[in-house]
Amino acid sequence: MLYLPDQIQELYRIAADDIGCVTLKEFVAVGVIALTIWAAAFQLSAATLPHIPPARGRVAFYIKVAPIVLGALPIIAATAGQLASRPAEKIGEVEEVGSIFRIQDQALAFERNMLLILALAMLILLASFVVFAWRMGSKHRSAALADRANIAYFIRYRFLALTIGGIALLTTGFVLFPDRLAQFVGSFGVIALFAMCVAGLITYFALLTIRFNFPFIPVVFGGLFLVASLFGSDDHGLRSVAGAAGPSGEMRISAVEAFRDWLRQKPRLAEAERLGEYPVFIVAAQGGGIYAANNAARFLARMQDLCPAFRQHLFAISGVSGGSVGSAIFAAALHADNGPLDTIAPDAKTCPKIADFLAGVGRAEDIDAPGQVEQRVASVLETDFLSPLVAGFLFTDFTQLFSPLAIPSFDRARFLEYTLENAVDRMLKSQKGAGHQSNLLKADFQSHWTPSNNMPALLLNTTDTGSGKRVVISPFDIDPLHAKDKDLCILSMLDRAGTGADQTVKSHSLPIPLSTAAFISARFPWVTPAATVSLRNDCITANPQARLVDGGYVENSGIETALDLIERLNSIKGTSDAPKFRIYLLSLVSGQFGDHGSFMFGELMEPVRALLSTRSSRTYIALNHANNIDRRPTSDVTSSVQRFPTFGRIDITGSFYNLPLGWTLSQKTEDIISLSSGRFWDCVPKDDFDQSRKKQSNADCLQVKLFHLLNGSVASAFETLKEAKLAQAAYADELDKEYKPAPKIKPQPLLACYESKWLQERGYQKYQDKVSAYEHQLAQSIKDHSPAPAPVPPYRKSYMAYFQAEQVKALLQEWDRIKETDPRILAYILGAISYDSADFTRSSEDFSYSAISQLPRKWRDRIEKNNADLAAKNKPLVGMDALLNHPKELANFVLGYAGNPFGNQAGTDDGWLFRPRGMYQLVGREQYQEAQNQVQEIGELAGLDLLTFPDALRDAKISAKVAFAHFRLHPYQNRTLFELLKDPSKDWIAVRALQTDMEHGPADRERVNARSQMFLGCIEEALHPTQLKSFQSKFYGSE
């Protein structure tokens, strides 16, 4: 138990991350377990010795060693567990700077080494224990003292009373404080307390057995268990909402009716008119314990923070097991905003961060900073759910096994429910913006959704143990007839009247809290018990009771339920009372079809393996089913119009260890899940906008897809991608064939230095500034008795993105191709371009805006100026509204007007064709022509034609060639930048002052100088690494 389970290994990682109180409690608990087992075994051996012939030789040695070996086993198991829990070291597989694979490896390096150190510390504990136990057992007086203690104390009734009293006291404490007490002690601490209690009882009854030669242990405990099993009651009934007298008297509605009402809300009708087709999202959240809960809650919360309109389009979430819990947490965090449908202004940016990034405007600040909803779900997800569950399992529910009286508060499933509710209570108290919202998880499940409350409907999947059917807890009825011969039933009270075509069915909801509903879907015996529900529902069972367990027994993805729902909802397509809509199914699923693992115990284990494998494979069968449905031709899709597939999925895998199917996670595992929950800036799309990079999450590109759907810019997105692919293909062969000299500077060390010395250090300084400002505001609020400011979210280390690293590497490759070797010149080039491109985050402007507020001020000013000129000439004006979602027309209007300074010809598409592109941005026909001439003058890419293929600048290699050609050939006061940089009389500040085609004010000069100094240091570090730096890199995981 202390070695094998993935969840136990995760506890060791948590201790390695902490290196503090948690680590100390782990060692103390393991030590207590070892001492308890040794002491009990020693006492029993002392009691046994007088009743057997005197032992000599090996027998005496074995008797002496046996208690020590038994006591040492927990420490040995913990040591092995520490070693087994170390993240795998992917030697030779760690990718370049900018890959999440490398980010994960860097983050886990310290943990990997700390687990080795903790394993060594556990070995020291083992050695100390063996020495102590051996010395105690070697003393002649010890056995005599132990025997006298047995007679005087351990075999007495007062010891039994004290042990039972301790068990009762601990059980009462865990019932009264279902989360905090267990979390304070920790999972290992709870196990240690249980070991002490069990050891006490076993010792007492074993001593009685030795004295009276009667098997007290099987008789007493077996008898109690038999009585409780035959005559006891079930304590695992569903918890009802406080004060509920029975099923709701209100009739439930059908899914179709609910969807129609949902669609016809005024804000949705207005949005459907704006977009032409209203995108509807249904999410399927896979099961998998707390890691699946993290995956679902984080992806949904991040999507909501990025796109405030997302919730308006999110109709339902079909969750299974951990996915159900994550969906409920997301709903609770969303409910804290209480955002009505009309909260979002019609002209607000659809997804501000994504829009600005894709538009290539402004500086990308805090691009990966979590938003409010994600902060809320993160504060709940960091809760330790495992310790309360272990306490409920080992104390309350274990006690219930031997009691004929059912005590509902002893149900360990309730410990999980209370822990989740209390975690949300703390979140609501701590998060500013939550207002006075009630805890959604404590409310009746049915109350979480109405057509107008701007919340997703939760469809939580469970399994009926009797029939094996899917039983869905839903706020509406997918099949209003609740057909008995279907494999899907809804958890409700049914009243049937009539027969055949005249039959009517009335359904009523059961009054259960949302937290209870979420954990019914996650009841995986034996970890959590099957839920007993009293109901009248002949779709599920003809009996008055049903037993519900984890929905993953039938199908672990939630896709089948989502598909059943979509089939019903699509029935109103094309009707007069519904706007035009299209439903998109988003699946949060990890993994693929499994392969045969170990062949050990073949005949014995193959039936078990087959059962488990078929259960897992149903998930991927459902995925294929969804894919096949998506490929079917539909009458409302024109083949000439490109659209996103209506089925999309993200996946998450543990590259370094198995993600634990338990109820607590280490910070590093949470970070792994977070990195796979969507980083839109890492999307390198294929033709269908799925992620093209194998080890990158498809969530990156799914975020971009959802942005274009919400923004109404799908057509322009496909057009832009097509143009970029054509331009890239035009020069791909020539770029592949060009001469590649040996690198002057290894890219990875320099990139890692840039990431650490600039991006991360500046990020941490900004975080410290925010903390200082928060502390000042907090002190001021206490002084003024005003509301406290919102707390600063925990610090999150920033990492360089893939596209940023690719541009730096392209510049270094161009540096390799020239004869110049002065590192000061390279340092200035990198410093200047990193400043002008906002750390290589701004390379191309796409002019795709769906609201006036999204337009940058410079373009609004230009539109107003151009309209003033048109008015002076008595020509019709061009409204800003007419330019929205028309990127070509907008670019032509603001860059291709008569008399523009860019050399663009009025009345043509020059404004669009020669819009800002490249890491050293070119704007206008004249600059594109100049850049083309410069590249050809230095003998690079003889066939480069930027006037025909302007999108070639999207390629990092071509963009780098253009930047270097500009630095080498463009004159500034009759001298090029290379010549100016070689002039010893001019420092970097003076050179920047002469670079008049870029921002060159006093503040700009200082910033470029600071960056250039940083890059110069990184170049020196990459050229001459120190042994100390190499050791720190290996131990801490930083280059």
Model confidence at 362, pLDDT cuts 50, 70, 90, reads low
Task: Give me the amino acid identity at 829.
Answer: I
HSE (CB half, 13 Å, CA atoms) of 463?
21
Model confidence at 558, pLDDT cuts 50, 70, 90, reads very high
229, with CB counted inside 10 A (0-12, 13-18, 19+), is exposed
Q: What DSSP assignment string belongs to 49-79?
A: GGGSPPP-HHHHHHHHHHHHHHHHHHHHHHH
User: pLDDT tens-digit profile of 31-46?
Assistant: 999 999 999 999 998 8
Residue 735 has a pLDDT of 86
Give the 3-state secondary structure of 39-54.
Answer: HHHHHHHHHHHHHCCC
Model confidence at 637, pLDDT cuts 50, 70, 90, reads low
User: Which residue spans within 810-928 are E strands per DSSP?
Assistant: none
Model confidence at 591, pLDDT cuts 50, 70, 90, reads low
Residue 885 has a pLDDT of 78
Q: What DSSP assignment string belongs to 421-445?
A: HHHHHHHHHHSTT-TT---GGGSBG
Task: Average the pLDDT over 945-962 and give the result.
Answer: 92
Q: What DSSP assignment string belongs to 804-828?
A: HHHHHHHHHHHHHTSS---HHHHHH
Task: Average the pLDDT over 125-147 and give the result.
Answer: 87
User: pLDDT tens-digit profile of 910-930?
Assistant: 999 999 999 888 999 999 999
Model confidence at 107, pLDDT cuts 50, 70, 90, reads confident
- Residue given tokens 């469809």 in the structure block: 459
Residue 226 has pLDDT above 80, yes or no: yes
Residue 232 has a pLDDT of 65
In angstroms, the CA 514 to CA 519 distance is 9
In angstroms, the CA 610 to CA 782 distance is 63
Model confidence at 524, pLDDT cuts 50, 70, 90, reads confident
Task: Average the pLDDT over 76-90 and give the result.
Answer: 90
Q: What's the CATH fold of domain 255-368+437-712?
A: Cytosolic phospholipase A2 catalytic domain (3.40.1090)
In angstroms, the CA 296 to CA 104 distance is 20
Average pLDDT for the chain:
88
User: pLDDT tens-digit profile of 979-994?
Assistant: 999 999 999 999 999 9
Model confidence at 785, pLDDT cuts 50, 70, 90, reads confident
Q: Which of 156-165, 215-224, 840-849 has the highest mean pLDDT?
A: 156-165
Residue 1039 has a pLDDT of 42
In angstroms, the CA 832 to CA 995 distance is 10
Model confidence at 56, pLDDT cuts 50, 70, 90, reads confident
Task: Average the pLDDT over 987-1006 and give the result.
Answer: 93
Q: Count of CB atoms within 10 A of residue 655's CB?
A: 16
Kind plus residue range of the DSSP H or E element containing 495: strand 493-497
Task: Average the pLDDT over 82-89 and give the result.
Answer: 90
Distances (CA, A) of 671 to 105, 656, 689, 706, 755: 11, 13, 25, 23, 18
Model confidence at 943, pLDDT cuts 50, 70, 90, reads confident
In angstroms, the CA 286 to CA 797 distance is 28
User: Which residue spans within 640-741 are E strands per DSSP?
Assistant: 647-650
User: pLDDT tens-digit profile of 876-908?
Assistant: 999 998 898 788 999 999 999 999 999 999 999
Q: Where in the chain is the domain with CATH 3.40.1090?
A: 255-368+437-712
173-177, 518-522, 611-615, 963-967: least confident range: 611-615
Q: Are strands 545-550 and 581-588 parallel, antiparallel or unpaired?
A: unpaired
CB burial readout 2-29, b (16+ within 10 A) else e:
bbeebbbbbbbbbbbbbeeebbebbbeb
Model confidence at 909, pLDDT cuts 50, 70, 90, reads very high
The residue among 146, 120, 3 whose CA lies nearest residue 67 is: 146
Query: What is the rounded radius of gyration, in angstroms, for the C-alpha atoms of the chain?
Result: 34
The angle that helices 372-381 and 289-306 make with each other, rounded to 10 degrees, is: 170
**Percent helix, strand and coil across the chain, each to the nearest 5:** 60, 5, 35
Reply yes or no: is the peptide bond before residue 526 cis, omega within 30 of 0: yes
The token duo for 241 is: 């909402």
User: pLDDT tens-digit profile of 469-483?
Assistant: 999 999 999 999 999
Model confidence at 434, pLDDT cuts 50, 70, 90, reads very low
Residue 108 has pLDDT above 90, yes or no: no
The residue among 312, 569, 252 whose CA lies nearest residue 453 is: 312
In angstroms, the CA 645 to CA 585 distance is 9
Task: Average the pLDDT over 973-978 and give the result.
Answer: 92
659, with CB counted inside 10 A (0-12, 13-18, 19+), is buried
121-125, 143-147, 213-217, 668-672: least confident range: 143-147
In angstroms, the CA 7 to CA 302 distance is 26
Task: Average the pLDDT over 62-70 and give the result.
Answer: 90
Task: Average the pLDDT over 556-561 and give the result.
Answer: 94
User: pLDDT tens-digit profile of 506-515?
Assistant: 999 999 999 9
Whole-prediction pTM:
0.90
Q: Compute φ and ψ for 648, nearest 5 degrees.
A: -135, 150
Tell which wins on pLDDT, 524 or 189.
189
User: pLDDT tens-digit profile of 147-183?
Assistant: 888 888 999 999 999 999 999 999 999 999 999 999 9
Residue 849 has a pLDDT of 80
Residue 675 has a pLDDT of 86
Say if residues 581 and 573 touch (Cβ distance below 8 Å). yes
Model confidence at 436, pLDDT cuts 50, 70, 90, reads low
